Structure 1
Amino acid sequence: MTPEFVIGFARQAIEMTLLISLPMLGIGLVVGIVISVLQAATQIQEMTLTFIPKIIAIFVALLVAFPWILDKMTTYTTNLFLNLPQYIR
């Protein structure tokens, strides 16, 4: 294994991790900004007001995106195992 291969392999794994986490992080960001704007407009400064909607939104995003995430992870793992003999050389 060359250093270039190891770096490329790690880069691909990190890209897959970021791609898989993007739906939940994006929804959490949008819900957090909306709640913060509402808090600023109404001057309600309750910390739990941001926490509960974010958890619910991230959970719903996970439920909606789960088939896509599972497909991406399965494809990545299948390619990894199929190319394992080439990686060992």
Structure 2
Amino acid sequence: MTPEIAVELVAECLKLVVLIVTVLITPSLVVGVLVSLFQAATQINEQTLSFLPRLLVTLAAIIAMGTWLTSKLMDYARAIFERAAQLAL
């Protein structure tokens, strides 16, 4: 395995991880900010109030984007196996 191939594989892996995390975390972040603004405006100091909406939005994101994320992971795994011959050299 040459260093260039290893760096390329690690870079692709990190890009995929960032993509997956961004798709799953961004909706939760937006909902968390909105709930925090609501809490600040109404002066409700309940810590558990923001947990359920963020959980539901994260689950909805997994349901909505799960197929696409799985296909991205499968494409990456397929590319790794196709490059297996190059890795052995």
Question: Is TM-score (shorter-chain normalized) higher than 0.5?
Answer: yes
Kindly provide the amino acid, as one letter, of the partner of residue 7 in structure 1.
Answer: V
Residue of structure 2 in register with 1:83 after alignment: 83
TM-score between both structures, scaled by the size of structure 2: 0.92
Residue of structure 2 in register with 1:14 after alignment: 14
For structure 1, the 5+ residue unaligned runs are: none
SS of residue paired to 2:49: helix
TM-score between both structures, scaled by the size of structure 1: 0.92
User: C-alpha displacement at 1:60, in angstroms?
Assistant: 0.6
CA distance in 1, matches of 2:5, 2:85: 14
Residue of structure 1 in register with 2:42 after alignment: 42
Higher RCO (C-alpha 8 Å, min separation 6): 2
- The Cα RMSD (Å) is 1.1
| Paired residue total | 89
CA distance in 1, matches of 2:16, 2:23: 13
